[in-house]
Amino acid sequence: MSHCLELTVAGERVQALAEAALYWPARQTLFVADLHLGKAASFRASGIPVPGGTTAGNLARLDRALAATGAKRLVCLGDLLHARAGRAGQTIERVAAWRGQLPDLEWLLVRGNHDRHAGDPPPEWDVRCVDAPHVEGPFVLLHEPAESGEGYVLAGHVHPAVRVGRGKLAEALPCFLFGRRAALLPAFGEFTGTAVVRPRPGDRVIVLADGELVPL
């Protein structure tokens, strides 16, 4: 097991991190997907009692990944915010305060399906927002995975996981999935859930387990 695994994708050296992020050293860029900030707040706004603190946990992991890599850019592959109901004052203020400590960090959002409903982040977060596909050769940045003739796809949306173990002891663990033409990143948000995927022959799978990376 490891906290960081290096691999070559589309001819580029990248690093999968146990924080559920992917680092591209050549561009000093950290990719994350599906933070779903404010999801717990939106549930509480609907009368569903769920615990708070998920935004603080997400920001702490971002801090660790940024510090470990020295990234100068942060790219979110969609679903930064969960819903309009999740734009609670406490969430907005907490992220704005975090952002204020990183004034030199370039932050890019490739809009996803939840972003279209939640709206773009508030100005004080200083996030540049673009629609998919966004090409940064050799990569094509999307939220919902789809093949592209413009390059190798990096996407989120699915919240991929694979089943590990057998019988009653089997459990679904989040994972990175690197295929021949596209990669799926695990959901970064703590309160997101997962969807089990079926890797194809030749796909490379890296599981996140107890703060470590396990290649399958």
* Distance (Å, whole) CA 64 – CA 75: 16
- Token pair, residue 50, equals 């769920």
- Token pair, residue 137, equals 């050769």
Q: Assign 71 a pLDDT band (cuts: 50, 70, 90).
A: very high
pLDDT at 70: 97
Least confident range from 11-15, 138-142, 210-214: namely 210-214
pLDDT at 122: 92
Do 195 and 189 meet the contact criterion of CB atoms below 8 Å apart? no
pLDDT exceeds 50 at position 196: yes
What fold is seen in the domain 4-215? Answer: Purple Acid Phosphatase; chain A, domain 2 (3.60.21)
What's the whole-model pTM score? Answer: 0.90
| pLDDT tens sequence across 31-68 | 999 998 875 445 434 443 344 456 888 999 999 999 99
Domain boundaries, given as residue ranges, for the chain: 4-215
pLDDT at 191: 59
Sign, CA torsion 129/188/175/5: positive
